[in-house]
Amino acid sequence: MWQTWLVDFDQVYERFRLPVWRLARRLTESEEEAFDATQEIFLRVWRGLPGFRGEAKLSTWVFQIAWNYLRGYRRKMGRTLNLVSEDFDGECDVVASVRDSGPDPERRAEATEMLDRVEDALCRLPEHYRVVVWLRDGEDLSYQEIADTLDVPIGTVRSRLARAREALRDLVES
């Protein structure tokens, strides 16, 4: 109730709109799905904010809501992958607009190609690998914050992240 004066939804939205969108984009298969998912997540944030009492960091709390929603969504859509997918055919076009930075056309093309490959490899990673790589390398969350978000022990985060990075390397180089 009145605590929302201290943690205002406007501020939460402003701060987390991009991170939530990015996570949704990585765990859904199209921009349209990510768009709907982001709305759903912020609706849950909006509903839950009056009850937010600060036991967790705000970022962890928001990412928890996002992850729980996206995981449920993926299950509903039958998209939970337990193995690295070799035949992924979903859309991975999120970086299409990114690739025009840098002065040197040749290096720019190389960078673009590398980003393409990494994005594509990310899409092929199982979701429990993908989310941990994204939260650490994309969102710069600490191991503890990732553990809190995913509700797993911190040791699991360490080992899972190592395996995920190795799997990502294999996919990029393959």
Site for other proteins in 142-171 (CB under 8 A): 143, 158-159, 161-163, 165-166, 168-169
CB of 46 to other proteins, least distance (A): 5
User: Interface with other proteins includes 2 (CB under 8 A)?
Assistant: yes
CB of 97 to other proteins, least distance (A): 7
d(CA 171, CA 122): 8
Could you give the string, one character per residue 49-88, with x where binding to other proteins holds by CB under 8 A and - elsewhere?
--xxxxxx-x--x------xx-xxx-xx------------
Q: Any residues with CB less than 8 A from the CB of 136 and at least 6 apart, and which?
A: 143, 146, 161
Q: Nearer Cβ to other proteins, position 6 or 83?
A: 6
Give the pair of three-digit tokens for residue 86: 């070799």
User: Interface with other proteins includes 10 (CB under 8 A)?
Assistant: yes
d(CA 115, CA 113): 5
Burial of 102-139, coded b for 16+ CB within 10 Å and e otherwise, reads eeeeeeeeeebeeebebbebbbbbbbbbbbbbbbbeeb
The DSSP code for 8 is: -
User: Interface with other proteins includes 139 (CB under 8 A)?
Assistant: yes
Could you give the string, one character per residue 94-133, with x where binding to other proteins holds by CB under 8 A and - elsewhere?
xx-xx--x---------x--xx--xx--x----------x
